[in-house]
Amino acid sequence: MEQRHLGRTGLRVSRIGLGTLTWGRDTDEHDAADQLKTFWEAGGTLIDTADVYADGGAEYLLGQLLEDLVPRRDLVIATKAGSVPDPDRRFDCSRGHLLAALDASLDRLGTDYVDLWQIHAFDPLTPLEETLQALDIAVTSGRARYVGVSNFCGWQLAKAATWQLAGAGVGRTRLASTQMEYSLLQRGVEREVLPAALDLGVGLLPCSPLGRGVLTGKYRHATPADSRGASDQLAPFVEPYLDEAASRIVDAVATAADGLAATSLQVALAWVRDRPGVAAPIVGARNALQLTAALSVEALTLPDEIRRALDDVSAPVHRYPDQDWSTL
């Protein structure tokens, strides 16, 4: 699998990442082992997890599979911290909480360091400089090799990345990445986040690159009984992408797939993988068979005319001040 630099850093990652959101919850140890081995044998390196996935179960399961199944040195392990199970406060990005969470993640993963440590979301109750100081401590202490953020809007990302760059000579570590939802059904990052990331040299790691599964076409005629859309827990997650506007995009992807003798999954994933600024979309799968289908995108590059057609049919509405208003 092709390797790409993560932002303006020396860290290289596979251009498709493996997500572990369901590990330890819906994905048991046998399916997780099959996925990890399949991913590694295909040349994949980037494994994305978080301390809240299955209440730490995803990290623990990944840690159990390291070394016995796949050499630790062959993987780029990314995890996140900052989300908390508190109904009154969804995020705690205080220095104390973050560093304690990192130590707990390392213990579950059974490793001395993570390759990429990410702040899970912006915490409005903690000064940003305090949050960023935790990132610097993680790197200088050797517990993290690179750092990034997740779910930061445009101004939040720009402020964080600029703060880090401004202190590059006094022990601050530049941001390597930002993880955001990005797909043909969700192009909101193109408004401010992606331009900021490109300008500041921050690599984009798209999550839900298949539009929460909708872009595979599985929901075109009905909701499969074994799908997220049929799950009481995850149906609200899928439902926003089952409207008429999304249906037009899904149909266009299916048409493109037919013309290329490919699958809708491959077309949708290839589109986001090759967008400017994207380092590696993060894909999740229930089993190794689903993962193999996603990894088959490595052989596909969309022709320019199909890419432009998909750009047009999925184009978000961006008006003032994003478009050139000087001629209005």
pLDDT digits (tens, 9 = 90+) for 250-303: 999 999 999 999 999 999 999 999 999 999 999 999 899 999 999 999 999 999
- Confidence band for 85, pLDDT divided at 50, 70 and 90: confident
Asked, as a colleague might, if the bond just before 321 is cis with ω within 30 of 0, I would say: yes
278 pairs with which residues across the strands? 204
Length of the chain: 328
In the three-class reduction of DSSP (H, G, I as helix; E, B as strand; rest coil), residue 175 is classed as strand
CATH placement of domain 3-212+269-300 = 3.20.20.100
E-strand spans in the chain? 3-5, 12-14, 17-19, 46-48, 76-81, 114-119, 144-150, 175-181, 203-207, 282-283
- Give residue-wise pLDDT tens across range 118-169: 999 999 999 999 999 999 999 999 999 999 999 999 999 999 999 999 987 7
Give the Cα separation of 152 and 149 in Å (integer): 7
Provide the mean pLDDT of the chain: 93
How many whole angstroms separate alpha carbon 48 and alpha carbon 299? 23
The single residue of 53, 60, 146, 219 carrying the catalytic annotation is 53
Is residue 326 scored above 90 in pLDDT?
no
pLDDT, residue 136, reads: 97
pLDDT computed for residue 222 by the predictor: 74
Is 182 one of the annotated active-site residues of the chain?
A: no
- Which pTM does this prediction carry? 0.94
Q: In this predicted structure, what is the pLDDT of residue 86? A: 82
Where are the chain's structural domains? Answer: 3-212+269-300
* Least confident among 40-54, 160-174, 298-312: 160-174
Grade residue 323 by pLDDT with cuts at 50, 70 and 90: low
The share of the chain scoring above pLDDT 70, in percent, equals 96
